[in-house]
Structure 1
């Protein structure tokens, strides 16, 4: 599929969303076709960067298809609780993690239960959810309770107090803004094999300059069609919350991808989205400032000037 593009010197190209569309077009037209973990196949490039200025409430919320920003926000708030079970998400109608525990349940029990029935049971049966709804020590666990071990007098080791990286970053931004160590890391090598999916958006680094808080997110693996729209919103949202908590203005959000790919079975989505043009500039208002970054609620966030084109559905690769 060859895709048409608006000339690079057109005034319409000033919209920041063109960065995303140009990346999608480049991957599909020029990417290396590869066999991947899921067996579906991808076209992939290695190394990409997108930059968005968050001044004035601007957010990297795509308009060439509807992005369900409340779903992505609920997921981010779930990360900040340190929770790793899907049940709190299921009870809010958030479906984005359901396929992984469902696949594990079918694989380990041989019970070919339908996904919707599995999710209903997660919602209705707390004991079942405790057994089958956990994803292992994924994002939130590493962010707010990174495990440590301490040496005992008898020569053995025992679990020590977990490290809350998010709380540490808040404190370091407040008291040592010039530091180069404002980092939240999800890639815990010792626990990767226990995770339903190793972290894709793995490293966040923050930077203070001229009263503004900047964020760089490194993502080792990125599904550009389905995952990246959520990742852009979520990373910028975390940056906005941190900026509010430490009395800084939001600055630039920089996204960096390693293996950046499109799935071969997403061709219909890609063709449709590349035929569209960005629509307006969405803005985010945070209408309440809680005492800590761990106390935000979904009602604290209001998006205005968001008039996206229709959603485009495509299957998730598990």
Structure 2
């Protein structure tokens, strides 16, 4: 985007087009959506720029904690709840209610996840979602007699990506994905932000292209674009590169029909400001970053806009 055109205007334009022109469809959740298919936005990451939405408050600290959790490979919500992050609770809670008939409340469910390790292990697990595929993609090794067994350690796509960017920056294979067909049925939610490709410019600029198969533009997008930009910044630092651009491409980009108040409120606002993300320390590896290693500056968003999550 041009320096004279605020990066968020393309987001608001897409929101307006979906709400006015989108195809109205029945979706998996039963809530219903309006959607457009195949949309792209570009965000500069130069000079510490970070694409945080300013027309509503984005809880970037929660998004940061989620991304760091992904990089651990953990798939249980227990460590998230311990940090006050509740964005993944709805899916295991829904499963628990369906399978047990116990209409427990979300807060009581989270408290039990924290207080009872066995309960947490059984009911807090999301299946092999994002982080598992990112750093522990299943590998199989010969077990004799034509048989194979699962290897103790899977393929770490993130570590391999870092090595690839360092050793062969001109490659067109700097890719990782969460879309493991064999594991989809065991995931609480198949990956929405699913495939990331990276490109190194001749001047050392690192760009990321994220393909997102399904995007809740009203709620999820703000986290998705922030985390993709944040990850690009982290990878650039680890590879002695500088972040250049994030290109976001969405397949089914939609707004839920029960988000009318959110859409109308946000479209009435004018974006302003240029937030910056500072990385305060360079750890030994991509897996050693801590929450306190990051600071967001010059972020003065307008008020948060609440809206229900469709499960």
Shorter-chain TM-score: which interval?
A: over 0.9
Distance in 2 between the 1:146 and 1:240 partners?
A: 23
Match of 2:309 in 1: 316
Residue among 94, 97, 103 paired with 1:112: 103
* Structure 2 match to 1:274: 267
Task: Determine the C-alpha separation between the residues in 1 that align with 2:209 and 2:106.
Answer: 36
Q: Does 1:219 align with 2:212?
A: yes
2:196 matched residue in structure 1: 204
| Aligned: 1:184 with 2:176 | yes
Are 2:64 and 1:73 equivalent residues in the alignment? Answer: yes
- Residue 13 of structure 1 deviates from its aligned partner by 7.0
Q: Secondary structure at the match of 1:143?
A: helix
Whether 1:163 and 2:155 are equivalent positions in the alignment is yes
Measure the CA separation in 1 of the matches of 2:256 and 2:163. Answer: 40
C-alpha distance in 2, partners of 1:306/1:152? 55
Report the 3-state secondary structure (helix = DSSP H, G, I; strand = E; otherwise coil) of the residue aligned with 2:141. Answer: strand
For structure 1, the 5+ residue unaligned runs are 1-10
Distance 1:309 1:135 in 2: 33
2:288 paired residue number:
295
2:73 aligned to which of 62, 77, 82? 82
How far did residue 157 of structure 1 move?
1.6
**1:59 aligned partner:** 50
The normalised TM-score by structure 2 is 0.98
| 1:234 aligned onto 2:217 | no
Cα offset for 1:280? 0.5
**1:86-105 pair list within 5 angstroms:** 86-105=77-96
Q: What's the offset of the Cα at 1:152?
A: 2.1
| Match in the other structure for 1:41 | 32
Q: CA deviation at 1:126?
A: 1.1
1:295 counterpart SS class: coil
RMSD between aligned alpha carbons?
1.1
Query: Secondary structure, in 3 states, of the residue corresponding to 1:47?
Result: strand
Pick from 159, 165, 177 the counterpart of residue 173 of structure 1.
165
Counting matched residue pairs gives 308
Instruction: Determine the structure 1 residue equivalent to 2:41.
Output: 50
Report the Cα offset of residue 151 of structure 1: 2.6
Structure 2 residues not aligned, in runs of 5+? none
Q: Aligned partners of 2:116 and 2:290: how far apart in 1? A: 25
Among 140, 145, 148, the residue aligned to 1:149: 140
CA offsets, 1:46-94, max 9 Å, x none? 0000101100000110000000001000000000000000000000000
SS at match of 1:234: helix
Runs of 4+ deviating beyond 2 Å: none
- Name the CA distance, whole Å, in 2 between partners of 1:12 and 1:173: 29
